[in-house]
Amino acid sequence: IPYFLMNASFFFSGYIVAFSLIWRLAIVAFPFVVLLLIPGIMYGRILVGIARKTREAYNIAGNIAEQALSSIRTVFSFVGEETTMTRFAEALNGTVKLGIKQGLVKGMAVGSSGVVFCIWAFIAWYGSRLIMYHGASGGRVFATGTTLIMGGLALGSAIPNIRYFSEACIAAQRIFEMIERVPIIDSDDGKGEILQEVCGEVEFRNVKFAYPSRPETLIFQNFSLTIPASKTVALVGGSGSGKSTAVALVERFYDPLAGEILLDGVNIKELQLRWLRGRIGLVSQEPALFATSIRENILFGKEGSSMEEVIAASQAANAHKFIAQLPLGYDTQVGERGVQMSGGQKQRIAIARALLRDPRLLLLDEATSALDAESEKIVQDALDNASIGRTTLIIAHRLSTIRNANLIAVVHGGQVIETGDHDDLIFREHGAYATLVQLQEAASKAGEADRLDIRDSSSMRVRSSSFVSRSSSNLSVSGPDQQYKIQKEKVASSNLSVSPSDQQYKLQKEKVSSSAPSFRRLVMLNASEWKQALLGCLGAIAFGAVQPTHSFTLGSMISVFFIQDHDQMKYKTKMFSLIFFSLGVFSFLVNVVQHYNFAAMGEYLTKRVRESMLSKILTFEVGWFDEDQNSSGAVCSRLTKEANV
């Protein structure tokens, strides 16, 4: 706004002054002054549009790199480095074409500012006519011409700013639509009832539900279920039967299309949403851990909790023992998405986070389905301890984990088709639960037979190395905490005696990080574009000579206005007008040559550097990505900012 107002004021003030000095020149020169809008229009519309497309193309390449780096273990395990580089290079090819096109348009936009020289050619010619035939003074002609050109340049600078007003209006429309939108479920709404005491009884009463993205597919149809207070209820059923949907409805991520969900006899729609969610603890199949310390991850469960409360929650989740054995304890970084923790460790941290708020309702959405048998037992013990005295809803895939549930409900077709405890349901002939148990036991026996075959075929290899077999048997007998202790002792001993190779690696790392590349090495990166470099440099040198030539010509032209001999004035005026016009054409050409060639150099260099950088990054060991400064976000930021020319 200030730049637009300043430049607009400059133009109108300049034109008023020019009109008051020599109105004939001001009127006749006005159409030529409008030509000064060309650079602004080209920059404001064409160039900005190309720049936006270039950014979008770079974003595509950046997303490819981010996806690969955030899932680097998957890329390495499937040997996907070459595929990633191919996709990345193809995406960068589009940015190169757009970048070169942007350089060409920029050269034309900057070069079109040479129209100023052409306007001076006209002012020199027409001004001399005013002096010879209308008695105008040379000083007033020069002052009028200068004012007109400066005002025209100011108007050209003001025009591109107009787009910001339209863009602001469009952006404001989207923003205000978002701000003024009244959500169906408002988490910031302070209205609603707060129960003084929560017993924890949950009831689904004739619930009908379909996801907003799939309104034609009903998930629940007359779904009814009562979960008694302080009891453990398990939902079982086939995939897509709606088990996890029940958890989402209790958390009130969605509202049912019909029916009610009651907490202690009160519809949860009538309860304050923040208060309701504060009384619920959720542990999902894949816990979402943030790239921070264990302590901070647990504190997400309840802000402002003391360290004693964090430790108590960890003890209840069977997590305190392994956390205490870590070198940094609760300050240990879990890595991006908890990558530095095992599956069982991540799950126990998530359980501790859920227990920190001491919830009355505990929702377990297949919390052990992704774990191995040993980790499952540890986590299951933690869940059993956490369920004591709380209303617990378990979504289970492995039916062996819900045998002790007070109530088991089988869900099929959006309805509860069978309820009872394990002992009751298992003996129902042709019952849905009994059928599920039989199928799962048959699959388990088949898997066990396969494992026995593998053990028999590999027994000779195992016996061939007595040291390895003894070590592995010791580890298998001991629990995971003992395994971690042994690994920790190995790490500690290796830290005390650093091998020469480790010292060499550290010295090499320090050398690489401290030494800056030479200028010659940087220049050699663009060696293949030496022709573009030569032409671009020549164009820059030539354009640098334009302004001094213009200054000399302008100063010489002023003296022409004071020549008394009209024939000599005509001759000199014609000569300087041709010089001004030639400067305008020459300025346009050298700017196109300069910006086009340097844009080509920059785009090819950027593509080459980014490909080399990502290719090298994909050769690093996985441990390098576990460091805080080498997270996928940090590496992608470096790839975008540092590898940009």
- Is residue 353 within 8 A of residue 300, CB to CB? The reply is yes
pLDDT at 516: 61
User: What is the enclosing helix (H) or strand (E) of 420?
Assistant: strand 415-420
Q: Is the pLDDT higher at 420 or at 343?
A: 420
* Model pLDDT, residue 518: 67
Q: Give residue 208's pLDDT.
A: 92
Residues 543-588 pLDDT 10s: 888 888 888 888 888 888 888 888 888 888 889 889 988 988 998 8
- pLDDT at position 64, please? 87
148-169 pLDDT, tens digit per residue, is 888 877 877 776 676 677 667 7
Q: Residue 597: what pLDDT?
A: 92
Q: Sorting pLDDT into bands at 50, 70 and 90, what band is 490?
A: very low
Strand pairing of 266-267 and 258-263?
antiparallel
High-pLDDT (> 70) share of the chain, %: 83
Q: Above 50 in pLDDT, residue 56?
A: yes
CA 320/CA 310 separation, integer angstroms: 9
Residue 7: its pLDDT value, please?
Answer: 81
The pTM of the whole model exceeds 0.85: no
- State the Cα angle at 586 between 583 and 587, rounded to 5°: 80
Rounded CA-CA distance 276/298 in Å is 20
Ranked by mean pLDDT, which of 271-275, 439-443, 454-458 comes out on top? 271-275
The pLDDT value recorded for residue 469 is 37
pLDDT above 70: residue 504? no
Residue written as token pair 């030509």: 35
Helices and strands (H and E) in the chain: how many: 27, 10
Confidence of residue 502 (pLDDT cuts 50, 70, 90): very low
Residue 507 has pLDDT above 50, yes or no: no
Mean pLDDT of the chain: 78
Mean pLDDT of 87-111: 86
**DSSP letter string, 50-93:** HHHHHHHHHHHHHHHHHHHHHTHHHHHHTT-HHHHHHHHHHHHH
pLDDT of 486: 37
The per-residue pLDDT for 594 is: 92
E strand or H helix at 152, and its extent?
Answer: helix 138-158
Q: How do residues 361-384 score in pLDDT, each as one tens digit?
A: 888 887 666 566 666 677 777 777
Owner of token pair 């048997």 = 473
- The SS3 of residue 307 is helix
Q: Is 71 exposed, middle or buried (0-12, 13-18, 19+ CB in 10 A)?
A: middle
Q: What is the DSSP string of 386-417?
A: HHTTSEEEEE-SSGGGGTT-SEEEEEETTEEE
Q: Tell me, which fold does domain 2-170+541-641 have in CATH?
A: ABC transporter transmembrane region fold (1.20.1560)
**DSSP summary character for residue 45:** I
Which DSSP string do the residues of 546-574 spell out, in sequence order? Answer: HHHHHHHHHHHHHHHTT-S-HHHHHHHHH
CA distance between the termini of the chain: 31
- Residues forming beta bridges with residue 394, ordered by sequence position: 234, 364
- Window from 128-132, 538-542, 632-636 with minimum mean pLDDT: 632-636
Measure the CA–CA gap between 301 and 182, rounded to whole angstroms. Answer: 27
| Cα angle: 304, vertex 307, 309; to 5 degrees | 80
> Looking at residues 520-541, what average pLDDT do you find?
84
Query: Which of 134-143, 465-474, 522-531 is modeled with the greatest confidence?
Result: 134-143
Closest CA to 414 of 538, 247, 245: 245
Q: In the Cβ-directed half-sphere of 150, how many Cα atoms lie within 13 Å?
A: 15
What's the pLDDT score for residue 444?
Answer: 59
The predicted pLDDT at position 375 comes to: 67
Identify the pLDDT of residue 468: 32
Burial class from Cβ neighbours inside 10 Å (0-12, 13-18, 19+) for residue 85 reads middle
User: Which fold, 202-439?
Assistant: Rossmann fold (3.40.50)
Q: pLDDT class for 461, splitting at 50, 70, 90?
A: very low
User: Residues with Cβ < 8 Å from 480, sequence gap 6 or more?
Assistant: 322, 342, 344, 374, 375, 378
